[in-house]
A = this chain, B = another copy of it.
């Protein structure tokens, strides 16, 4: 399977394919054509075929795709087959919501520890996840398998935390702090910038926005 040189735009569509295929499999649908898939997903059928061709293509032209097999291959491409250990930094509102969001465990994504500087919550646990003192995070990462750090601290602290966890060896950051982290090239990051998202919505709300 060829995975090189996949554009960011294609990558962003992969979870959407996976999501629709999961829903279809759960609904008992066994086969789907790229045309039917394109109608369901409001995407162009030729774009779907092009996207799939980035990964060598799936199924035969004119026969449609086997939903179950395509979903499995998509899960494989997305890297959902293997388990991931994540640590959470910042066990406040957003951090606790992330821990409690049950949707995550399904994909082999485990939050193994949380870290905070608030003495009131250090030593407690949130939905089974122990909360440790932030000063211990460097040791923790060096002594345990940690694939991902979730940063849910105030934005003023986020860069410092990113520096600590990446120096300790973490190569992957899910960043909820509203700040653009400066990271080495070998570190990957996905941002969830809630206030940016809200501001885009307010722009569209106030400007009588119509999609181009």
Q: Which residues of A contact B (CB under 8 A)?
A: 3, 5, 7-8, 11-12, 14-16, 18-19, 41-42, 77-80, 82, 84, 93-94, 96-98, 100-101, 103-104, 107, 109, 147-148, 171-172, 174, 178, 180, 185, 188-190, 192-207, 209-212
Tell whether A171 pairs with B8 under 8 Å between CB atoms, given A93-B100, A103-B178, A196-B16.
Answer: no
- Copies of chain A in the complex: 2
Q: B11–A78 contact, CB under 8 A?
A: no
Instruction: Give bound CA distance, A79 to B199, whole Å.
Output: 8
Tell whether A202 pairs with B109 under 8 Å between CB atoms, given A97-B94, A103-B194.
Answer: yes
Lowest 7 CB-CB distances: which A-B pairs, in order?
A79-B206, A97-B97, A15-B199, A15-B196, A190-B201, A188-B204, A93-B100
